[in-house]
Structure 1
Amino acid sequence: MNIQLNQKSDKPIYEQLKSEIIRLIMSRELREGEALLSMRALAKDLGISVITTKRAYKDLEDLGYINSVPGKGTFVAEGNQTMIREQSLKQLETQLRRTIELSRELNIDRTEYNDIVDILWEES
């Protein structure tokens, strides 16, 4: 798995890990039914705590991205890519509405808002 974590980020490591795994699933780098590394193996590979990987995996399972099978491992959830994408788009829309509302409160027009988004997009 090609997971990028930024130790200097304000975002907690477990959130970064969760976001990276979601990115890999949505981009189909991780396919439905594919096994994930064990929590211990992933923690070792990334140089992070097993507790951190456990929290990220639990959140991902709660969100329906992965399934854990006792004694067998953790796998990318099957048959719900469309549902997951819809949920993700809904979350994105909610966040965008918040930023648009804030922009209006700050008297930032659409052009300036788009400029900000373009700059941040390029930085990411």
Structure 2
Amino acid sequence: MYIQLDFEADEPIYEQLKHQIIAGIAKKELIPGESLPSVRAMAADIGINLHTVNKAYQQLKQEGFILIHRQKGVVVNPEGIPKADEAYWSRLKHALRPFIAESICRGVEEEEFNKLCEQLFSEYTKKGEKE
């Protein structure tokens, strides 16, 4: 999996890294049980501070995407990613509300918004189906 960060973006580097790892898991570029580089190795590979990588890894661990073992290192959760629960659905609704509200204000029609969501969703699911 190739990590590409935008150092000029408003989104913090640790969030970009976290989101790219989650995208890699969603696209099945990273599979359950697969090893990820150590914090130090990842930081050196992409040229960022190891504390930035550590923050991304800690959040991924808290959300159940990865496990961090003293002996095995960092691995994609071999038991798979926890399914969406009530707390996840609540966070999802909270995150989507501002995008939907702004889209309405900017004249985006519901059908257009839904079509965009479907296109983005298929970017993650169809690639996994081809393998």
RMSD, aligned α-carbons: 2.6
Cα separation, 2, equivalents of 1:60 and 1:31: 15
User: Helix, strand or coil: the match of 2:36?
Assistant: coil
Q: CA deviation at 1:81?
A: 3.5
1:25-36 equivalent positions in 2, closer than 5 A: 25-36=25-36
Aligned to 1:110: 109
Identity value in percent: 37
Q: Is the 8 A contact 2:64 2:81 kept in 1?
A: no
Q: CA deviation at 1:46?
A: 0.1
Q: Which string of whole-angstrom CA distances, capped at 9 and with x for unpartnered residues, describes residues 13-39 of structure 1?
A: 111000011111111101000111011
Q: How many aligned residue pairs are there? A: 113
TM-score normalised by structure 1 residue count: 0.76
Aligned to 1:41: 41
Please, which runs of 5 or more residues in structure 2 have no aligned partner? 121-131
Please, which runs of 5 or more residues in structure 1 have no aligned partner? none
User: Helix, strand or coil: the match of 2:20?
Assistant: helix
User: Helix, strand or coil: the match of 1:68?
Assistant: strand
TM-score normalised by structure 2 residue count: 0.72
User: Helix, strand or coil: the match of 1:81?
Assistant: coil
Q: Is the 8 A contact 1:34 1:76 kept in 2?
A: yes
